[in-house]
């Protein structure tokens, strides 16, 4: 047997804790990852920055997002008069 292979550490460590895919994505202390079109609560709306809120709006409508300070009741109006709501994760009309 080659000396390098004989002294190489084993890939499996019996002392290492076992992790699952879920453990790698979130832990109980982490906040869930927000996605485009996902509804948020008024508390989350207050906590998020303008950049974070803009990422929740579909790309086709992001240019119309005026910033958090100009969103009355968690929604803003597009050029055609429809309103996008962060609390619903979609249009108010739907």
Q: Where are the domains of the chain?
A: 3-91
User: Could you report the per-residue pLDDT of 82-93, keeping only the tens digit for each?
Assistant: 999 999 999 998
How much is the CA Rg of the chain, to the nearest whole Å? 23
pTM (predicted TM-score): 0.64
| pLDDT per residue as tens digits for the range 36-45 | 999 999 999 9
> What is the rounded CA–CA span in Å between residue 36 and residue 56?
4
DSSP state of 81: S
């Amino acid at each position: 047997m080659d000396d390098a292979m004989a002294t190489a550490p084993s890939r499996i460590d019996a002392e290492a804790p076992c992790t699952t895919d879920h453990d790698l994505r979130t832990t109980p202390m982490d906040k869930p990852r927000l996605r485009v079109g996902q509804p948020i609560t008024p508390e989350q709306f207050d906590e998020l920055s303008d950049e974070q809120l803009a990422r929740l709006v579909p790309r086709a409508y992001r240019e119309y997002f005026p910033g958090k300070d100009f969103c009355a009741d968690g929604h803003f109006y597009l050029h055609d008069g429809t309103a996008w709501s962060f609390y619903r994760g979609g249009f108010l009309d739907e």
